[in-house]
Structure 1
Amino acid sequence: MTSIPLGAPIWADSLTSALEDDTRYYEQLFGWVSADAGEEMGHYTTFGVADGSPAPGRPVMGIMPCPPGMSPSRTWNLQFKVESCDDAAERAAALGAALVEEPQDVSDMLRFAMLTDPNGASFGLVQALDPETGFGVYGEPNSVSWAEYHHDGVPAEAMRFYEELLGWQVVTPPWEAEDNPRPYAALSPAGGGPEFGGCHAAEGFELNLPPQWSVMVAVEDADETCERSAELGGAVAAQPMDVPGLRVAGVAAPGGTTVGIMSQRPWT
């Protein structure tokens, strides 16, 4: 089990119109195992990295069939850990967020709420009622390793809402050019610890997309993973490209939900 600090990403999941196809796709693309919680829990399916422990191993993310009247997820829904879901949701609304789903309990595991931030990007708040709630692995191969936000504006300004709500440390990395008017914003929890994500100024095709969080899964080879995505009935949502130190891309499951992938870029 990972030790997840307050304010950091705690879980990611998505709604799908193709549960069987997407389950098979994720298992084959990332080597995950899955566990269906059954009809009583709406067939919520948890994926994990197999390590000899009971299914689904160390939890990575979850999917569930899209309820009637709702649309499948365009991207994975990212959620952040808070001490009190109700208090954090109230605070978020006061800071300009819109409440999409009121705080509610999921059995005795967690209490969560879904919102959109002042820029319109979706995110969730999770209060862990069970200490085992959340990512069982983060930052390892074939697991969620980064959370990236794009915004057509100054990244640090877009992150001010989260800074006030969750206490994040928002800093400009040393590799940024001093004359860049919209420098990258690196994100880490209030109490310190490793960076878990960042925000960049939208460019290219992103200018046609609304501001949003992108969940990133670490893979050995982003180009090869894109090829396998197509072979497995998915698609390539964003062609591989180089960013500082990384090769990144986007793949889409058969149901259409997109997730980012990232691999270390070899030195040449």
Structure 2
Amino acid sequence: MALHPEGAPCWADAMFPDLEAAKRFYGELLGWTFGESSEEFGHYTHAFSDGKAVAAVVPQLPGVEGPASWNLYFATADAAATAARIRENGGTVTMEPIEVGEFGTMLSAQDPSGVFFSAWQPGEHFGFEKTGEPGSYCWVDINTRDPRRTDAFFGAVFPFEMQQMDHDEVDFKLFNVEGQPVAGRLEMEDEVPDIVAPFANVHFAVEDCDAAVATVTKLGGELRYGPMDSPFGRFATVADPQGAVFTLIDVGTTEGDMPTFS
């Protein structure tokens, strides 16, 4: 299997107070099936779509409080070097690089504005085996209140080439790797409550956004925003019953002209 290029999103996981409830929710919403929990690694449990690894769920650690949240990993060939660049550019390494058996090496960090993320140096586990299709990871928007610091930080830590969207009212930037867009950076609007911390908003692809939102609410989740049409797809931001926020997007249903970037 090919490696994900340096800086490309390569994996996503989330900790849940109730692991079995999370498996039921995402199993019905996204059609995921789940592998055996690994007791050696804290009951880390891989999720699969069409037999391909797409994410993982894990029980929340003892003493950890607050709602569940999705965590995105960026690919790196050298976790130690990435940790050094994070520190050099004003970020905080919240978990030092650690080997996860033969699977690879991970670290966790925050950018200067408070966006939490992780990085993954692969061993036997390369990351996503399926992306951009229903039931799998599709995109991430890095939501920040300090776009200039966030742009400078991520541009120094990873080999991102950046393009600004030509729009007077929305501050949005593409992060590209090898000429291909891999992530977006979105300035959080003033009306977003201060209690909402900057975060990496993970998008999962679905066949029908409206039907998926109906499933979320039926299962006890919440609709936070949308559904809304866009040139990128019809999308809605939701929270699962344990508080993890993410976005559902149907990339096959688009409306409007694609924006220009410079």
Above 0.5 in TM-score?
Answer: yes
Identity %: 29
Q: How does 1:50-65 map to 2 (within 5 A)?
A: 50=50, 57-65=51-59
TM-score (norm 1): 0.87
Matched with 2:174 is 186
Matched with 2:19 is 19
Matched with 1:203 is 189
Displacement of 1:22: 0.6
Displacement of 1:185: 0.4
Matched with 1:54 is none
Matched with 1:43 is 43
Q: Is the 8 A contact 1:47 1:60 kept in 2?
A: yes
Residues in 2 aligned to 1:63 and 1:45: alpha-carbon distance in whole angstroms? 5
The alignment yields a C-alpha RMSD, in angstroms, of 2.1
CA spacing shift, 1:123–1:160, aligned 2, 3 Å: same
> AA paired with 1:231?
K
Residues in 2 aligned to 1:182 and 1:239: alpha-carbon distance in whole angstroms? 17
> Which of 60-69 and 204-213 deviates more?
204-213
CA spacing shift, 1:26–1:72, aligned 2, 3 Å: farther
Matched with 2:259 is none
Residues in 2 aligned to 1:231 and 1:2: alpha-carbon distance in whole angstroms? 38
- The answer for unaligned runs of 5 or more in structure 2 is 257-262
Q: Is the 8 A contact 2:68 2:244 kept in 1?
A: yes
Residues in 1 aligned to 2:117 and 2:107: alpha-carbon distance in whole angstroms? 9
| Of 115, 123, 127, the match for 2:121 | 127
Q: How does 1:172-183 map to 2 (within 5 A)?
A: 172-173=164-165, 176-177=166-167, 180=168, 183=171
Residues in 2 aligned to 1:74 and 1:204: alpha-carbon distance in whole angstroms? 25
- The number of residues matched between the two structures is 254
CA spacing shift, 1:181–1:72, aligned 2, 3 Å: closer
Residues in 2 aligned to 1:156 and 1:242: alpha-carbon distance in whole angstroms? 28
Q: Is the 8 A contact 2:112 2:149 kept in 1?
A: no
Residues in 1 aligned to 2:27 and 2:46: alpha-carbon distance in whole angstroms? 11
- The answer for unaligned runs of 5 or more in structure 1 is 51-56
Matched with 1:53 is none
Residues in 1 aligned to 2:25 and 2:158: alpha-carbon distance in whole angstroms? 34
> Which of 97-106 and 207-216 deviates more?
207-216
Matched with 1:148 is 141
Tell me the alpha carbon deviations over residues 105-134 of structure 1, each in whole angstroms, 9 at most, x when there is no partner: 11111101111111111011111122x420
CA spacing shift, 1:257–1:194, aligned 2, 3 Å: same
Tell me the alpha carbon deviations over residues 5-34 of structure 1, each in whole angstroms, 9 at most, x when there is no partner: 111111111110010011011111011111
Displacement of 1:259: 1.6
Matched with 2:99 is 105
Displacement of 1:2: 5.8
Q: Is the 8 A contact 1:59 1:137 kept in 2?
A: yes
Residue 160 of structure 2 is aligned to residue 168 of structure 1:
yes
3-state DSSP of counterpart to 1:23: helix
> AA paired with 1:210?
A
CA spacing shift, 1:182–1:231, aligned 2, 3 Å: closer
Residue 212 of structure 2 is aligned to residue 247 of structure 1:
no
3-state DSSP of counterpart to 1:105: strand
Displacement of 1:221: 1.9
Matched with 2:32 is 32
3-state DSSP of counterpart to 2:35: strand
Displacement of 1:145: 0.6
Residue 81 of structure 2 is aligned to residue 87 of structure 1:
yes
| Of 90, 93, 99, the match for 1:96 | 90
Matched with 2:260 is none
Residues in 2 aligned to 1:205 and 1:230: alpha-carbon distance in whole angstroms? 24
> AA paired with 1:186?
L
